[in-house]
């Protein structure tokens, strides 16, 4: 079980610093701090290759998020499979359950090919 409530507040500050390090900036002014955040390929030391093998979020109970929903998938998370999870009792500015892509400036496109969500 993942308790996604960002208390104490210092946890959220650390999360923003980590997101900025991975993405090269912190774009999360809304829908911040979901229970699970998939940032895709990342940059520099945080680079990964989602196209090389399927990644999974499987078998979790995610609850208690107050500012980001249960699962947030940012960009470049190819072949991700989200299955067999209980995403309950989460809140977010833009999403309470599962979000693919994030709200951004008009014209921003997110590329998350072959993402599968199963009950």
pLDDT tens sequence across 88-116? 999 887 788 998 886 666 667 778 888 99
**Angstrom distance (rounded) from CA 51 to CA 59:** 22
Mean pLDDT (whole number) for 43-55: 70
Query: What pLDDT, in 10s, does the model give residues 57-92?
Result: 999 999 998 888 899 888 888 889 999 999 999 988
Q: Is the pLDDT of residue 3 over 70?
A: yes
**Angstrom distance (rounded) from CA 85 to CA 102:** 21
Neighbours of 111 (CB within 10 A): 10
**Angstrom distance (rounded) from CA 82 to CA 30:** 23
Determine the length of the chain: 119
Counting beta carbons within 10 angstroms of the beta carbon of residue 1, is it exposed (0 to 12), middle (13 to 18) or buried (19 or more)? exposed
Alpha helix segments (H runs only) across 1-119: 10-23
CA-wise closest residue to 27 among 70, 63, 75, 71? 75
């Amino acid at each position: 079980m993942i308790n996604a409530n960002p208390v104490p507040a210092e946890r959220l500050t650390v999360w923003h610093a980590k997101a900025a390090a991975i993405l090269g900036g912190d774009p999360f002014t809304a829908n911040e701090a979901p229970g699970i955040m998939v940032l895709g390929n990342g940059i520099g030391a945080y680079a990964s290759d989602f196209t090389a093998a399927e990644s999974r979020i499987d078998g979790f109970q995610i609850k208690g998020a107050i500012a980001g929903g249960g699962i947030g998938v940012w960009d470049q998370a190819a072949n991700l499979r989200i299955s067999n999870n209980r995403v309950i009792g989460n809140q977010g500015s833009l999403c309470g359950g599962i979000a693919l892509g994030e709200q951004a400036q008009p014209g921003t496109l997110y590329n998350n090919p072959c993402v599968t969500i199963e009950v």
